[in-house]
Chains A and B, each alone.
Chain A
Amino acid sequence: MDALLQGAQLVLQPQTLIAIFLASIFGLLVGAIPGLTATMAMALLVPVTFFLEPITAVGAMVACSAMAIFAGDVPGTLMRMPGTPASAAYTDEAYAMTRNGQASLALGANVVFSAIGGIFGTIVLMVAAPALAELAVKFSSFEYFWLAMLGITCAAFIAAADPLKGVVSLCLGLLVATVGINNPAGQPRFTFGSTDLVGGIDFIAAMIGLFAIAEVLRFAGSARTELAVPQAQGGRIFAGVGALAARYWPQALRGNAVGTVIGSLPGAGADVAAWIAYSVSRRFSRTPKKFGTGHPEGIVESTSANNAALGGAWIPSLVFGIPGDTITAVVIGVLYMKGLNPGPTLFLNHPESMYAIFLVFIVANLLMIPFGWALIKAARRILSVPQGILMPLILLFCTVGAFAATNSLFGVVTMLAFGVLGLLMERHGFPVAPAVLAMVLGPLLEESFVNSMIKTDGELLGLVQRPIAAGLAAVCVVLWLLPLVKSLRRRDGAHATALG
């Protein structure tokens, strides 16, 4: 109880509240502008968080990500352009509602069910994380090795549309993580004689490159198309939402549950959660034929899911230091920088920080309702800011951010290189998320492996001799074999068809 009060004190400090307030507005704006993602909002926020107290920084990031995921719904509904990938699953549906003259209802549903989803995810986080932390205290290098392995496996095999390309992306991230002298052997690796590379590749500069510069490059290289004019939406935003809640509460609940579970899987975040929730909703709907015609049922379920996924993604992040999605990958980078190393000891040594983070989640999701209302009211004006002016500003902000991350121009060079890499990967169908997760998990993977090998005297079988480690290993092996089994079955199927 003391810890809870201390946590509340941390959150209620003026600087924390101001940071949450400003980060919320920033998240709303970035999320609402098509092409700028929630992860990009986080990457752009990080340089500012260097200069904040730990809880203030985390509070800003939580608020920013929650707002950005919701805000992505607004241009999706009004212009048929999802503001973030997490809104893409139900953009057509929401836009169909707009054309039917129900824009206000669609947006009202987005705000309210996003906020409820976020709070649901937080409650699960509050219940599950401390319980898991008690288990995690008993973990040693063996369990951590397999947890990290499970994290990168999920990122490549579950979250990527094409597992083979997911694996390539993963390897790329792991190789990037090996650069420098920060490895168990203390040996400089892949530094090519450069003193700048001895310290490794700066994660923050790389993130800004992958998520923001790649986007600026994409914009710069594409044909200038005039964005669609946002459809007008008049009327009261929250009118009719109550009726929706009364009618579709089971769907909202299922969306919350699906979102939290998907979010907690490493590598799969809000966007995957929204797609799955939308298809689950259609699958179990009594009126599946109405989907796609401006039917709110699927929107309720998937907009609940993407915000619930945010809370879910924090479960493995806080308890094990294994990021649940790209957003938490960035957060983990910041937590390490702030000395709040994620892991079960965080719960033991800093319970007040934990409670503070939980409270921030709730505050941010409650703020979403008034802020979301304001965003919807101002949407036409925000969405008509020309991207030709916005992108150069983002470019400058990124450059200063990357410079601040390293206090050297090498940060800018790193950002540029990763921007080009991100663009190339996207053009050739390689997902970026596995590489990002691998960059966070690579060091943990290697360290826990080497520590385990020192304990077992180089005996590889020692990795699976503790029961939990063996269980985690079994899950990994099943996930590795899954694509193989699938492709064999496909081939069998094709064979049978050819014979028939």
Chain B
Amino acid sequence: MKSDLPSAVVVIALGLVALVAAAKLPPTPGQNFGAGFVPGLVAGVMTAAGVLLALRALRRRASFASEPAAKLVRPAGLLVVLGGLAAYVLLSEWLGFHLTAMLVVGGATVAFTGRWRTAVPVAVVAAIGVHAVFYGLFKVPLPWGVLQPLAW
């Protein structure tokens, strides 16, 4: 059983930051309830809920909710996904959709299955297929990047 105390602290901190930010919003002329009213109220409720959560955690020391089914034992796996998405954001404009997508899908498939011979064809087919549907059919402006000379 995990204690709720750390998450309660995060909730309180988030609530307080939002409360301060909402208080700084200027009032709307001619109205009693300006742009900051609703966010401020919500932030207040959130902070209060965080405090209640902390008090309960201190009293009980065990989480109310049941433990999640599977433990996260592979931080490297998480990094593959997060890194893949970060790579897409940073590289896709320059490398183009095809190459970035192959990198992301291929990398993740190798990481998950350990098989290059599966990963390479999966990555190539996925990149070309998804591009054909979204760029060709739905006209989503997926970037060509360095492959611009091949653009259709």
Contact = CB atoms under 8 A, between A and B. Distances in A.
A393 B105 contact: yes
Interface residues of B, number: 74
Given A221-B72, A222-B71, A412-B85, A450 B140 contact: no
B122 A404 contact: no
Contacts of B32: 453, 458
Interface in A397-422: 397, 399-400, 403-404, 407, 409, 412-413, 415-416, 419-420
Interface in A406-460: 407, 409, 412-413, 415-416, 419-420, 426-430, 445-446, 449-450, 453-454, 458
Interface in B95-142: 101, 104-106, 108-109, 111-113, 118, 122-123, 126-127, 130, 134, 137-142
Contacts, number: 197
Interface string A107-125: 0000000000000000000
Contact of B50 (A48, A168, A446): A168
Contacts of A416: 82, 85-86, 89
A15 interface: no
Contacts of A400: 130, 134, 140, 142
B15 A223 contact: no
A203 B68 CA distance: 26
B74 to A, nearest CB: 5
A53 interface: no
A428 B4 contact: yes
A389 B113 contact: yes
A453 B33 contact: yes
Contact of A222 (B38, B42, B72, B89): B72
Contacts of B25: 187, 189
Contacts of A171: 15, 42-43, 45-46, 49
Contacts of B123: 392
B81 A216 contact: yes
B80 interface: yes
B122 A190 contact: no
A51 B105 CA distance: 25
| Chain A interface mostly | helix
Given A168-B49, A429-B63, A223 B74 contact: yes
B126 A393 contact: yes
A337 B31 CA distance: 30
A222 B73 contact: yes
B112 A391 contact: yes
Interface in A179-232: 183-185, 187, 189-190, 213, 216-224
A317 B29 CA distance: 34
A221 B80 CA distance: 9
Interface stretch (A135-143, A158-166, A284-292): A158-166
Nearest to B93: A409
Nearest to A454: B31
Contact of B65 (A218, A429, A454, A458): A429
Nearest to B115: A388
B65 A395 contact: no
Given A175-B42, A222-B70, A392 B104 contact: yes
A388 B49 contact: no
Interface of A: 47-48, 50-51, 161-162, 164-165, 167-168, 171-172, 174-175, 178, 183-185, 187, 189-190, 213, 216-224, 386-389, 391-393, 395-397, 399-400, 403-404, 407, 409, 412-413, 415-416, 419-420, 426-430, 445-446, 449-450, 453-454, 458
21 contacts: A165-B64, A165-B65, A168-B53, A171-B45, A175-B42, A183-B38, A187-B35, A189-B22, A190-B39, A213-B85, A221-B73, A392-B109, A393-B105, A400-B130, A412-B85, A416-B85, A420-B82, A428-B2, A450-B31, A454-B31, A458-B31
The 8 A-B residue pairs with the shortest CB-CB distance in the complex, in nearest-first order: A429-B65, A388-B112, A220-B77, A171-B46, A187-B35, A458-B32, A392-B108, A388-B113
Given A183-B35, A409-B92, 13 more contacts: A162-B64, A165-B65, A174-B42, A392-B104, A392-B122, A395-B81, A396-B101, A409-B93, A420-B82, A427-B72, A429-B66, A449-B33, A453-B31
